[in-house]
Amino acid sequence: MRHLAILGGGPAGYVAASHAAAHGARVTLIDPRPLGGTCLHQGCIPTKVLVESCVLLEKFKRAEEFGLQTVGSISADWSKLKQRFSEVVAMLGEGIDRLMENRSVTCIRGYGCFIDEDTLRVADKVIRPDATLICTGSFPTAPAGFDIDGAFIGTSDDLLQWESLPQSILIIGSGIIACEFACILKSLDVDVTILASGSRLMSAGDKDVSVVLQREMRKNGIKCIFDCRIERVVREPEGVVAYKDGQAVAVAERALVAIGRDANSKNLGLESAGVAINGYGEIVVDDLMRTTAADIYAAGDVNGRSGLAHAASAQAKLAVDHFLNRHCTPIRDRAIPVAVFTHPEIAYVGRTEEEAKRDELDYTVGKFDLRALGRAHALGEISGFVKAIVAKDNGHLLGLHIIGPHASELVHEGALLLQRYGKAEELRATVHAHPTIAEAVLEAVEDALGQATHKLLSKRQHHDILQFS
């Protein structure tokens, strides 16, 4: 029985342990903290519990639009919201522990580090596995000049521990974490100002999606200041102040620093093991998650390939399969979907239009607005669209971008197609249930391939019809 040691018990580590044990390996899982990692304890799960509470709160606020009468006002209770996500986190954590017990995984609570390429030390224990998988994750970036104290100037790890919410907050950053917290806090009646270093929100996503997100945030009262690279955030008598080029640009009661995450690669003894890191502190891996040292792998945030929990899990399974000599295929990174739980929700997979243009691809774009769907009107959520990017030469789907209700579920239509190098015609030929938001995926693909059934003809299309009639 081959022995695999795993450093870190987050969505890469515990999934690797489960997968390896299920296929006959002896597994030792090492983590100083409860299993589940940032995703379970400070990230994905607690924030999504908050998102669902905020979605319900926003619906209650609009009850009259749905023909409903309410008695009294609806308000949020931060302490009870915290209690709810804590209960969900605890329940899921217990589930992971039971899973490890069920699969006879040996769990050691402590910090593991390499003595050499073949040997690990955890406190007074020495472990000599056949291979090691590093899944130590990442931590919030905290630049010099940002006086992070956890209480008034904090990261996403700190915010969920706050005993109360501020009346106003500065959010430094414009990516997924920044935008999700902006929407959550605004729903909870916090005055939110986003300070973005670039010219738009969610710069990794499609520009058209950013336009709608920024519009909806503005409508909801979230202030955004762009091209504002903050160099210093400090607490002063009037509050927390953010500085750019030596000048104060914004002030609020507290600040959230959400400008990225750094690989947790320090104090692991990587040099002793011959494991190389790049200039960002990320462990260098190949397409099978192998490091520069024999029989040492790295998966998840620590290798810098993706900051997504589901990508970490997929990488970890791939590493395990290679270790166990099972069939394995490198992960197609462009087929990994991204879900952003803002309001409206965002999800995308594949290339953005900007990337397709940069790569000089010959492509066509199809787009369908949600306001043309009966289901969107029934939900009272008509802001948003689906956008499909299709290669002209072979009809392959290049990208699918969604902003609107249920985007995180719908994006998997595109992910499945991209994973198998499928053609957009396959989506067009798939009958979609009515009335659903998923119909917008069909219509966007139809639009890219010629004409969406429920989209008005352009002047050019009118002209072409007259020419051939």
Classify the phi-psi angles of 327: left when phi > 0, otherwise alpha if psi is within -120 to 50, otherwise beta: beta
Q: What angle do CA 151, 190, 192 make, to 5 degrees?
A: 90
CB 282 within 8 A of CB 162: no
CA distances from 84 to 79, 136, 182 (A): 9, 27, 20
- Residues 302 and 300: their CA atoms lie apart, in Å, by 6
Tell me, yes or no, if 434 is annotated catalytic.
yes
- Residues 253 and 153: their CA atoms lie apart, in Å, by 9
Which are the contacts of 458, defined by CB distance < 8 A and separation ≥ 6? none
Q: Which of 377, 434, 462, 463 is catalytic?
A: 434
- Output the DSSP codes for 396-426: BEEEEEEESTTHHHHTHHHHHHHHTT-BHHH
Tokens matching residue 32: 């100083």
Tokens matching residue 402: 């969604």
User: In the chain, what's the furthest Cα-to-Cα distance?
Assistant: 85
Strand order in the sheet with 338-340: 338-340, 346-350, 397-403, 385-391, 363-369
Q: Phi, psi (5° rounding) for residue 174?
A: -145, 15
Peptide bond preceding 405 in cis form (omega within 30 of 0): no
* Catalytic residue set: 434
